Amino acid sequence: MHVLILGGTTEGRRLAETLDADGVRVTSSLAGRVASPKPLPGEVRVGGFGGADGLARWVREHQVDAVIDATHPFAGTISFNAARAAVTSHVPLLALRRPGWTPVEGDDWHPVASLEEAARTVGRLGRRVFLTTGRMGLAAFADVPGVWFLVRSVDPPEPPYPERMEVLLDRGPFTPAGEREVLRTYGIDVLVTKDSGGAATAPKLAAAREAGVPVVIVRRPPVPDGVPVAATVGEAAAWVAARAR
């Protein structure tokens, strides 16, 4: 059985490891946005497919039996391309999505629908913003007046980005103590994040709650209609096993 994992997440990596150990042929596809990704078991391809038609063609040419969309919850374009490609190539598709975060007592969350809405919101809440939405969407914050940004990303960002900005190059998982230190050292009074879920980057939410720092949180886009969803690697592996049988 040949499984194509649209990866780039911790869950995608763990699923590739699990399936490879079970003797399943795995190809992990990475977008190529991280300069030095960690090694993966099985086969690896990097780069886009050329839209839904290109993905469907690749699936047919490489005799893929199942596709698992284990991309980041905010990688909306590839998810919808995968849904269309699965239909045209008649291959089953599963979305592997870690659950989103849930606010608890003491949280001061300000949910927004987009990075653009987040940019319009931060100036009303503070002046020193910890921006943890990655390096790809910084253009939305480029023209926010009177705000200084601390931008954390794995690789250096490219313009356009905010004029008043410092870059913190780092890769999760992060610790509560480390996140508390970041907020204290840089005098952060607003945190901006996407609702990516998972434990690797959740400590920043606890640190913000303890410090009384408001959080602007971008809601995740929905999974395409009709695509089944697995919340864990175990559920996804069981789905593959069922297809193999």
Which CATH number belongs to the domain containing residue 71 in this structure? 3.40.50.720
CB 129 within 8 A of CB 149: yes
CA 22/CA 41 separation, integer angstroms: 12
Do the domain assignments include residue 91?
Answer: yes
The answer to whether residues 130 and 193 touch, using CB atoms and an 8 Å cutoff, is no
Q: Are 125 and 171 within one domain?
A: yes
Confidence of residue 33 (pLDDT cuts 50, 70, 90): low
Same domain, 121 and 95: no
Does 206 share its domain with 130?
Answer: yes
Query: The domain containing residue 26 runs over which residues?
Result: 2-99+221-244
Confidence band, pLDDT 50/70/90 cuts, at residue 38: confident
Q: How far apart are CA 237 and CA 244, in angstroms?
A: 11
Establish if 104 belongs to a structural domain. no
Confidence category of residue 24, pLDDT binned at 50, 70, 90: very high
How confident is the model at residue 220, as a pLDDT?
92
| Cα–Cα distance measured from residue 37 to residue 145, given in angstroms and rounded to the nearest whole number | 35
Would 58 be classed as within a structural domain? yes
DSSP summary character for residue 165: E
* Residues 163 and 211 both lie in one domain: yes
Query: Does the pLDDT at position 36 exceed 70?
Result: no
**What pLDDT does residue 242 have?**
95
Together in a domain, 87 and 7: yes
Q: Is the pTM of this model over 0.85?
A: no
Please tell me whether residues 194 and 231 are part of one structural domain. no
Residues 13 and 94 in one domain: yes
63 within a domain of the structure (yes/no): yes
**Assigned domain for 228 exists:** yes
Tens of pLDDT, residues 213-244? 999 999 999 999 999 999 999 999 999 999 98
Same structural domain, 154 and 65: no
Residue 201 in tokens: 């980057």
Q: With the C-alpha atoms ordered 197, 108, 172, 189, is the resulting torsion angle positive or negative?
A: positive
Give the residue-averaged pLDDT of 10-34. 92
Mean pLDDT within 106-119: 97
- In the sheet that 229-230 helps form, which strands lie side by side, from edge to edge? 43-46, 25-30, 2-6, 66-69, 93-96, 229-230
Distance of alpha carbon 66 from alpha carbon 81, whole angstroms: 15
Same domain, 166 and 237: no
pLDDT, average across residues 6-28: 95
Mean pLDDT of 179-198: 96
- H or E stretch covering 56: helix 51-61
| Same domain as 83, residue 9 | yes
Of 24-38, 106-120, 161-175, the range with the lowest mean pLDDT is 24-38
Kind and range of the H or E run holding 94: strand 93-96
Q: Based on the domain organization, do 14 and 89 belong to the same domain? A: yes
Contacts of 174 (CB under 8 A, 6+ apart): 200, 201, 203, 204
